[in-house]
Structure 1
Amino acid sequence: MTVRWTQVTEQDAAAWAGLCARAEEVDKTGENYDAEDLAEELADPLVSLEHGTLAGWDGDVLVAVGVLRNRATANPVNRVYFDGVVDPAYRRQGLGRRLTEWAIETTPAVSRSRFPDAPMELHASVHEHNTVKAGLLTESGFAPQRWFFTMQRPLDGELPEPVWPDGVRVEGFDHARHDLAALRVRNESFADHWGSSPQDEESWRQWYTGTRAFVPELSYVALTGSGDEGDGADGEMVAFLLTQFFEADQVVTGRREAWISTIGTLRAYRRRGLASALIATCLRAAAAQGYDRAALGVDADNPTGALGVYEAAGFTVDRRHVTYVREFPSR
């Protein structure tokens, strides 16, 4: 077998989606993508198609893809993210090792193209049952650093009631009024989260409020004040919740899932029940709009106690994955 290696192009999105679908039939990660999803990923300004992608072809069949993605900011380390997939029919033939070696060799140049003087790390996510990928990363100098859970709950049973503390109210997300304020809350609230770095406006809209998956009708903000005209403008945003819907998941599973992509609360307002109230508001709206279940992701060691908040809202762990990290020596 001779594999031809090229960079990934925007025209390869459909072939990449087909490759991901074939891999998902075996890997059972719960993640599904269509061509439009992957076209968005290839349009990410933090991905260099020329220098940060690799595609393996057997004739006209795409059998392997690797992508390196910079972070928006280095804080102070630039954590480059590596995503790789190999067609199950072509595994154990060295393609995964080729992608991994390429990622290690290419990361310094990719990182320095954006942050010339920043230290760097290479991060890769591995689902708990994928022992082959975990072993390959370990052999290549990676080490497991952090564990994450994907949690879900059905929406056809009893749902929690939102309880709002005095002086705080909820509003539906409005792009014009809330987008930049939510970004500020996100960056402040995630400052003490492992592996997080501040988002800039471009990456925020690329991955959250500007993506085709974003559902503003299931996204909410918590504001101080009553909202009356005599109360002095809109009040301060102190927490928010954003939701996404992935059509590719519904096509495969038959379920309509509300993915709660991000929840953030200003540190001064933590432990007042704001996240719980936002989640309850979202769950009830999602059920009313015909969604079958809700899901979200969480760091198993989240410093805010988020895991307990989600369990109290009826979420249970559905899948687990591990972030593997490879450090690079300073120049």
Structure 2
Amino acid sequence: MATNLSVRSYAGDRDLSAIADLVNTCEAVDRLEEGTSISQLQQEFDAPSLDKTRDLCLWENANGKLIAFAKLSVSEPGEVTDGWLWFRVHPEARGGEVEASAIAWGEARMQEIAKERGTPVKLRSYVRAEDGDRISLLVNSGFQADRYFFRMARSLSEPIPKPQFPEGFWLRQVSCEQDATAWVEMFNQSFIDHWNHHDLTVEEFNYYSNLPNYRNDLDAIAVAADGTFAAFCYCEINPEENDRTGRNEGWIGVLGTRRGFRKIGLGRAMLLAGLQRLKAAGVDTAILGVDAENPSGALRLYESTGFRKIRNSISYVKDV
């Protein structure tokens, strides 16, 4: 670590402007579509799962200028604790030393968590498949690729088939206050057998459903005859992101079918219902992300409804 660099913890809202400027400076060079804003950062940092005093780190040069920032997203306690490391280094400060310090910070933080929880820990990091420099950095730091993901897109100008729900199921919007506990149970039962699943909490659901971009008209569930929440599709539109990219896109944020209700057409019906809602909201293109090895056949479903791959990402992991 160079002597003219200082490392410190997050000091509160007064750091937001400098972090946003750094991220956007990196975005102007890297073109990863990961620009941000002060309000977006504030929402990320206020998430209940983030320990702002220990899961954020800043690097400054001798003049007090922010030249790197890292965030660690730590999973809820379980048999294994995962920490997802995200960091950006100013283009003029790149070259390995600061990047290595960011990774070392992530490793040290995860080792703290291992002692606190008494469980094995893994440090993870996502990277775009075309980002050769970041891939080399991770590999040289002892990381290994362990999962691949696709981002997919579908034009909403193309016809959207009418959703066909199995007999006995009906579609309705989510009522956040009344449905929180049942929705979270459905979510966890839907993803329990998926790769790297960590249970969602009611506290997290309540937080995210109160964010400015949350729209009740884009949050739908399929309910069985006995009242069981069987499937869901939550969509999101981020006006700030659309302004930055100059596009008009909406996300299929989360789509799932509960155990015991699969293979009867609910996933397709919910996806088509979500596409209809995004189109009605005025967006031009639907976007989603999918695990390339998803065991439920999600990739086939998306391709069969008109989605096409536009980007590949890789999850890298290191035991610490």
Q: TM-score, normalised by structure 2?
A: 0.93
Q: 85-94 vs 280-289, which deviates more?
A: 85-94
Q: 40-49 vs 149-158, which deviates more?
A: 40-49
State the Cα distance separating 1:197 from its structure 2 match: 1.3
In the alignment, the residues of structure 2 paired with residue 82 and residue 272 of structure 1 have an alpha-carbon distance, to the nearest angstrom, of 38
1:63 aligns with 2:62: no
Which SS does the other structure have where 2:260 is aligned? helix
Answer yes or no: is the 8 Å Cα contact 1:152–1:293 preserved in 2.
yes
State the Cα distance separating 1:205 from its structure 2 match: 3.3
CA distance 1:106–1:7, change in 2 (3 Å): same
Aligned-CA RMSD value: 1.8
Residue number in structure 2 paired with 1:305: 297
- Aligned letter for 2:76? A
Answer yes or no: is the 8 Å Cα contact 2:234–2:274 preserved in 1.
no
Residue number in structure 1 paired with 2:209: 209
In the alignment, the residues of structure 2 paired with residue 248 and residue 57 of structure 1 have an alpha-carbon distance, to the nearest angstrom, of 28
Answer yes or no: is the 8 Å Cα contact 2:68–2:98 preserved in 1.
yes
- Aligned letter for 1:163? Q
State the Cα distance separating 1:155 from its structure 2 match: 1.3
Which SS does the other structure have where 1:269 is aligned? coil
In the alignment, the residues of structure 1 paired with residue 84 and residue 202 of structure 2 have an alpha-carbon distance, to the nearest angstrom, of 19
Answer yes or no: is the 8 Å Cα contact 2:72–2:86 preserved in 1.
yes
- Aligned letter for 1:104? E
Q: 299-308 vs 86-95, which deviates more?
A: 86-95
State the Cα distance separating 1:158 from its structure 2 match: 1.5
Q: 44-53 vs 33-42, which deviates more?
A: 44-53
1:94 aligns with 2:86: no
For residues 124-182 of structure 1, the C-alpha deviation after alignment (integer angstroms, 9 at most, x for no partner) is: 11111111111111111111110011111121222222111111111122213322222
Residue number in structure 1 paired with 2:10: 8
Counting only pairs closer than 5 Å after superposition, residues 1-331 of structure 1 correspond to structure 2 as 2-11=4-13, 12-58=15-61, 59-74=63-78, 76-92=79-95, 94-113=97-116, 116-206=117-207, 208-225=208-225, 235-328=227-320
In the alignment, the residues of structure 2 paired with residue 73 and residue 265 of structure 1 have an alpha-carbon distance, to the nearest angstrom, of 24
Q: How many residues align?
A: 316
Residue number in structure 2 paired with 1:228: none
State the Cα distance separating 1:61 from its structure 2 match: 3.3
State the Cα distance separating 1:93 from its structure 2 match: 5.3
Identity %: 27
State the Cα distance separating 1:111 from its structure 2 match: 4.4
State the Cα distance separating 1:27 from its structure 2 match: 2.4
- Aligned letter for 2:89? V
CA distance 1:256–1:73, change in 2 (3 Å): farther
